[in-house]
Amino acid sequence: MQRRLLLTALAAFALASCGKTAKTDDPGTLVVAATAVPHAEILEFVKPALAKQGLKLDVRVFNDYVQPNVQVEEGRIPVSYFETKPYLDEYNKAKGSHLVTIAGVHVEPFGAYSRKWKSLAELPEGATVAIPNEPSNGGRALQLLAKAGLITLLDPKSAIATPKDIVENRKNLKFREIEAATLPRVLDQVDLAMINTNYALDAKLNPTRDALAIEDKDSPYVNFVVGLESAKSDPRVQKLVAALRSPEVKAFIARKYDGAVLPAF
């Protein structure tokens, strides 16, 4: 009896699992992994247009940069929308994953923020600077500081520079490497925090007003729709890309983010 009950339970679990996979592969539904701001907001904006084409968009919001890639690599979610190519390249290299960029949508100019100082010139000797603790965004933060004249890097063009690559540190800055999502929460504990715009916006910071330094419109850090190679030929993904790169989305980004997010198409 116990064996029969166990087999019944296993069968029910298998059917539930198959149902979950079937929903993900439903030709009328596309699941997308995204961070909340601005990615999920932009996806919510295109939902009605896609619905008119018979495609339901299921947006799954994550608060970190790792789990979306895990879900897509394992085939649980078809595509994600949150990351830059330098970040993706480093992730693939570290994890042995096979994710590819599908279409670039927007740029989020990276910024330097402080609650203690009103300009970079006011930073004191030995000031503490918090930067993201993974190579691509940490390197991006250091590049911005180098452009502002605070440090010099061994390779000014390196997308994955670390504090060890600093060859001149004019104010003897002290660096703390912290998970990107938590950087807004340490603003009161450090002199300067280098924050990705999606997390800055989520923390109610205004990049165009509050950042002491910010990347310009020529930033190479475009945010991409990402998936496995097979996703490129998925009709659902093709509809999503067309919607995200539409004139309507360009106008929406300009209107809603007022320069804090820039279209990349």
The token duo for 221 is: 């850090």
Nearest to 110 by CA among 139, 146, 141: 141
Q: What is the 3-state secondary structure (H, E, C) of 122-150?
A: HCCCCCEEEEECCHHHHHHHHHHHHHCCC
Question: Measured between alpha carbons, how far is residue 242 from residues 2, 238, 250, 265 in Å?
Answer: 54, 6, 12, 11
Q: Is the peptide bond before 38 cis (omega within 30 degrees of 0)?
A: yes
Indicate the pTM of the whole model: 0.79
In one letter, which amino acid is 99? Answer: L
Tokens matching residue 82 = 């949150």
Closest CA to 192 of 135, 119, 109: 119
Three-state SS at 204? coil
Q: How far is CA 128 from CA 40, 193, 194, 240, in A?
A: 32, 9, 11, 42
Residue 18: per-residue pLDDT: 35
Share of the chain above pLDDT 90, in %: 83
Asked if 136 and 90 count as a contact pair (C-beta separation under 8 A), the reply is yes
Question: Can you list the residues of the chain whose pLDDT is less than 70?
Answer: 1-24
Report how far residue 258's alpha carbon sits from residue 27's, in angstroms, rounded to the nearest whole number.
35
Distances 60 to 24, 92, 98, 202, 205 between C-alpha atoms, Å: 12, 22, 21, 16, 24
pLDDT of residue 219: 81
Residue 112: predicted pLDDT: 98
**pLDDT value of position 136:** 87
Cα torsion 193, 132, 69, 155 to 10°: value is: 120
Closest CA to 30 of 4, 5, 55: 55
Q: What is the pLDDT of residue 37?
A: 94
**pLDDT tens per residue across span 243-261:** 999 999 999 999 999 989 9
pLDDT at residue number 25 = 76
Q: Which residues on neighbouring strands pair with residue 62, listed in sequence order?
A: 35
What does the buried/exposed string (b/e) look like for 14-43 if buried means 16 or more CB atoms within 10 Å of the residue's CB? eeeeeeeeeebeeeeebbbbbbbbbbbbbb
Q: For 153-199, how does the pLDDT look when each residue is reduced to its tens digit (9 = 90+)?
A: 999 888 889 999 999 999 999 999 999 999 999 999 999 999 999 89
Give me the pLDDT at residue 220, please. 82
Helix, strand or coil, per DSSP, at residue 10: helix
The reported pLDDT for the residue numbered 176 is 98
